[in-house]
Amino acid sequence: MSTTTETEIPLRQRVAENPQPALIWAAVGAVLIGVELGAILQVVGAVAGVVVNLIPGDPGASAVQSLQAAFDAIPTLVSRDVIPNQGYWDGTGYENTFLGLSPAVAWAIRVVFVYAYAFAVLAWAWNGYKRFRRHYRRVDWTPRDDVVNRFRGHSWGKFGLIIVITFVVMAVFAPALGPTTMEQNILQPYDYEVSYWSEDTQSVETVLVGEANLGSGSQGAGDENVAPMTYDDFGRFHPFGTATNGKDLFTQVVFGARISLTIAVVAMGIAGLIGLGLAMITAYYKGLADLATVLVSDSIQALPVIMVLILMLVIFQNTWVRELYDGAVLIILIFSIVYWPFIWRSIRGPALQVSEQDWIDAAKSFGQTPTQVMRKHMAPYVFSYMLIYASLSLGGIIISVAGLSYLGLGITAPTPEWGRLIANGQQYVASPSWHISLVPGLLITLVVTGLNAFGDGIRDAIDPQADTGDEAAATGGGA
């Protein structure tokens, strides 16, 4: 039959036969990636740095450093250099800002640019998937298409996804988003200077950033407050105002997003993998394996999470583990250990259910190995459930990390963290400096809501009956 040859063609050949859609897509991709190549290479350099850091003796550390420096030098489109906002008023106009615009406008343009670029990349990726589906995929329908289509029709889930993307972009592009940099404003303020227009002398003067910070803290009183969307006395624009010590709040918030999201995602990823792996084993072998896991997970779940965290952090207070990445590694480890039983519990039901399907017996009957049965015939059905529960509990981790930092445990200063910002501004919530606590607090609420909405969206997408009947609501609650 004629179809015999058609179905055998490898992807490359299918593309070659109808190259236009793929070429257009690739060309757009090349442009999008090209303008940010420097940033991408910087990420590669950073990852290399982490790897080198983890290897004892730090072999090749200097090579990696020179590599990083080289990558840093490559100009990128979405960067501080292209759209600078840290300029000053010289009496007649703005110096050193983008097109001579005010620092606030220049900063706003850069933020819009960053988000426009990020969403363009996502749109490009989505378009690539659609092109593949339309022009090159061998099957014209897969069960996953239905899930994707159902999610696309789920406004609440899409809202959640957009919120989540917004925060991820915030974390990824943190260095480009801040009106100032971590290095200048937060970590080494006494190594840098800023120029500003002095009303008293009617001339441009310079001051150390550290000193400028001292004069622009938000401590409640009327003249000691830099509110959101205002300039301080040194002509610096603060989208979210300043913290008590005069450091820029927005910069701290976007870098805080990095820390919070990284901890939450990595910890949840590890917990999810452990939970999924154990769910496969316990559902396949049942009996003793299941019983042992129930015992272990029950014991872990019986412990109050926050207590364990505090205890562990205190125990490891002065050890090298506590030092790694400002304490993030230790927090991630603890959260993974504390959270896997929750994930395992949540997906145990679906895992057992799929293990009862006849196709498992069929696979066993022709001699498929247990690992393959779990991987091919069970895991795909349980994975999406894991995703739901992982996204629903990510928020919990973010809140817990903030809580720990609030208590002075979590992430060590000066690395910015939302919880510590909240603690920092707590005594001023009823004063004009309310923004210090409120802004990070609102952001936490927003990202947690977004994650929950996203989780709901996935659940309804994989389980279309779930949003119609109470019976399904009961499953969702009980599972």
Q: Is 13 one of the binding residues for another protein (CB under 8 A)? A: no
Residue with smaller CB distance to another protein, 148 or 314: 148
3-state secondary structure of 449: helix
Q: Is 288 one of the binding residues for another protein (CB under 8 A)? A: no
Binding region for another protein (CB under 8 A) out of 47-55, 78-86, 351-359, 400-408: 351-359
Helices 328-355 and 305-315, axial angle in degrees (round to 10)? 140
Among 10, 57, 91, 143, binds another protein (CB under 8 A): 143
Among 5, 8, 56, 478, binds another protein (CB under 8 A): 8
- Closest by CA to 426, choosing from 237, 231, 220, is 220
Contact 341, 303 (CB under 8 A): no
CA distance 412 to 186: 14
Q: Is 10 one of the binding residues for another protein (CB under 8 A)? A: no
| Beta carbon of residue 386, minimum distance to another protein (angstroms, whole number) | 15
| Beta carbon of residue 361, minimum distance to another protein (angstroms, whole number) | 6
- Count, residues in the chain: 479
Q: Is 138 one of the binding residues for another protein (CB under 8 A)? A: yes
Residue with smaller CB distance to another protein, 199 or 358: 358
Backbone φ, ψ for residue 154 (5° rounding): -110, 95
Sole residue written with tokens 């407050």: 225
CA distance 297 to 281: 14
Q: Tell me the β-bridge partners of 242.
A: 248
Number of residues binding to another protein, judged by CB under 8 A: 29
Residue with smaller CB distance to another protein, 139 or 430: 139
Binding region for another protein (CB under 8 A) out of 106-114, 196-204, 373-381, 421-429: 373-381
Contact 77, 35 (CB under 8 A): yes
Among 73, 139, 307, 430, binds another protein (CB under 8 A): 139
CA distance 88 to 76: 24
In the structure encoding, which two tokens stand for residue 477, read together? 């609650």
Among 364, 414, 431, 466, binds another protein (CB under 8 A): 364
3-state SS track over 260-276: HHHHHHHHHHHHHHHHH
Q: Is 199 one of the binding residues for another protein (CB under 8 A)? A: no
Q: Is 19 one of the binding residues for another protein (CB under 8 A)? A: no
Site for another protein, rule CB under 8 A:
1, 3-4, 7-8, 138-144, 357-359, 361-369, 372, 376-377, 380-381
